[in-house]
Structure 1
Amino acid sequence: MNDISKKIEAILYSSREPLKASEISEYLGISTAEFSRAIREISRNYEEINSSLKVGQFGNSYKIKLSEDMIPFVEPFIEKEFTEKQLAMLSYIFKMNGEAISGDLRENFGYDYKEDLEKLKKGGMVSARKYRNTHKYKVTTEFHRKFNINKRTLRAEEQ
């Protein structure tokens, strides 16, 4: 594997989130064509050695990720960013046109919902504002970015 491919592989492996091809190209001072060749080389190398890793593409962003068939083996060791309850809360808020009030969350997730909600707020996934005698919680732009939700993906889901 050439030096550029090694650098790109190291960057993609080290990043927490997928990175845009243009960002990596600019950082390394290479063209997007060179980046594309390197990505193909990295992918080919993983396939040739039957690696448990592969290059994941998410739109025009990339990340080194685990092959789907390996996920069941590592599941107990994966540090989860969100609990199942937190994901359910995010999903619920999103499905309620992107916002929900405290009472709805308490009714659906129990009286201990506030602890999870605080973690979601600290993580930038939801915001809160005073609404009458309660609070209204809304999913944020960061939520949409993290879960790759935009108008185009929403239209595709509806079809």
Structure 2
Amino acid sequence: MSHRLATKIEAILYLKGQPLSLSEIAEYAGCDRTEVKEALIELIHDYAHRDSALEVVETPEGYTLQLRSTFHNLMQNLIPPELGVGALRTLAAIALKGPISQTELVDLRGSGAYQQVQELVELGYVRKRRQADGRSYWLQVTDKFYQYFQLQELPQVLEQPAQS
């Protein structure tokens, strides 16, 4: 149970891409704070003992999954300077799940996604089309995204529908 919860929390921290409190994590994971605390300790311990570029740390704002500080210089060289990590994760979500509705994206990434989408549209990495019912927008990556990140297309493996 605990190991599966640790994996679920890892996914939550990755997808949210921002520090989360114990209560927030417990709410997303559907369990209580004590279970979250134990699973987080396990997760922090796992990351500390594996040769990973990532680490799980407790910050004043909450728990977060982040790049180890030793890799920050590499990140500066690889990521377009105008994109923050949050915007980059939002872009990754759109690339993997697109076309995705803006509503679904905000559910996945939090309300900060509105600003990030605006930024990504202005930079030309994302295209926004109003949905037929006019309530939200469809979001998908543009040719500029594929050119910049030197991708022909995303691997087909990622696009297979989930088994029902």
In the superposition, the TM-score normalised over structure 1's length comes to: 0.47
* Structure with more contact order per residue of length (Cα contacts < 8 Å, sep ≥ 6): 2
